[in-house]
Amino acid sequence: MPEVTLDQIETATHAALTYHGAEPWIATEVARAVRAAESVGNKICGLYYLESYCQQLKSGRVKGDVEPVVSRPRPGAISVDARYGFAQPAFARALPQALDAARENGTATLAICHAHTCTSLGYFTEQIARAGLIGIGFTNASPIVAPPGGKTRIIGTNPIAFSAPDGQGGIAMQFDQSTTTVALGKITMAKAAGEAIPLGWAVDANGEPTTDPAAAIAGSLVSTGGYKGWGFGLMAELLAAGMTGGVVSRDVKPLKAPEGPPHDLGQFYILMDPDVSGAFFDRMAQVQAAIDAEEGARMPGAGKKPMQVIAVEDNVWELVQSLAR
């Protein structure tokens, strides 16, 4: 496998997106997100999506030439209409106002409306935390999860992300996880590789546990912790769709299909100023000290260092270069 630098990944991604119709500033925001995902080994949210980005730019399923419209309907509420474009540039346009609103009010919300899939929620909540605030994010996705005891797929993997600042411009804690036992991308990647999946990830169309990724895709993913994870998935569903005007999971078409209607997804963020209580960093330090005292334990996201050189599969890198012309 060739080893490529993050700069090469970002440059090639930018070139591919602009070649297929994205405005340069929009391509810059999306390419940064791809770079960030690849730097921590999150391949599902990195180059894995580039081909579909390009195909959907060509078909018009995602708009690469629209200017997001930011508004502030309430003192503590920021909204941005992505206008069926990428989520990354919409977030970038709205973040400064959302940070200001949170600092003014103690808490604020940021609703990204009518957007393409954001891919990695943690990429966005991390930006909030690096600005010194606590960030929580929610989104929904194509229906792939049936309720416990049911067989009809109603919600998506519906991830939740949380990032907490360390008070020095860094991240003290971060998690970004689906509300299912595993993200759908891991199952689609297993299917493409001809590999089995572990029991407990999914059930088939009859509700029976399966190790066959194709049967899992035709069936349903399993919510983390059963009905407990199902509850978190529903919470993400209601906030992501209900607070942004985005579609519910049952109306989300396959995210990587080259053609079709726009994703029309919503992403909903809550921003909180940790200085409001005057105790946040002290209490976090106490919790972190207790965790650090346990051998082998760590705060979620702690110690994660971005890689500068990435091993990319030959066929993937060849595809990226061909997309970039």
Tens digit of pLDDT for each residue in 280-324?
999 999 999 999 999 999 999 887 789 999 999 999 999 999 999
Q: Which residues pair with 311 in a beta bridge?
A: 3
The DSSP call for residue 209 is B
Q: What is residue 81's predicted lDDT score, i.e. its pLDDT?
A: 98
Report, as ranges of residue numbers, the positions in the chain whose pLDDT lies below 50: none
Q: Is-contact 268 111, C-beta < 8 A?
A: yes
Q: What is residue 274's predicted lDDT score, i.e. its pLDDT?
A: 98
Q: Is-contact 38 47, C-beta < 8 A?
A: yes
- Count of C-beta atoms within a 10 Å radius of residue 280: 18
> Alpha-carbon distance 42 to 251, whole Å?
27
Q: What is residue 201's predicted lDDT score, i.e. its pLDDT?
A: 92
Q: What is residue 152's predicted lDDT score, i.e. its pLDDT?
A: 86
> Alpha-carbon distance 317 to 182, whole Å?
26
Strands 220-221 and 107-115: unpaired
Q: What is residue 302's predicted lDDT score, i.e. its pLDDT?
A: 80
Q: What is residue 45's predicted lDDT score, i.e. its pLDDT?
A: 93
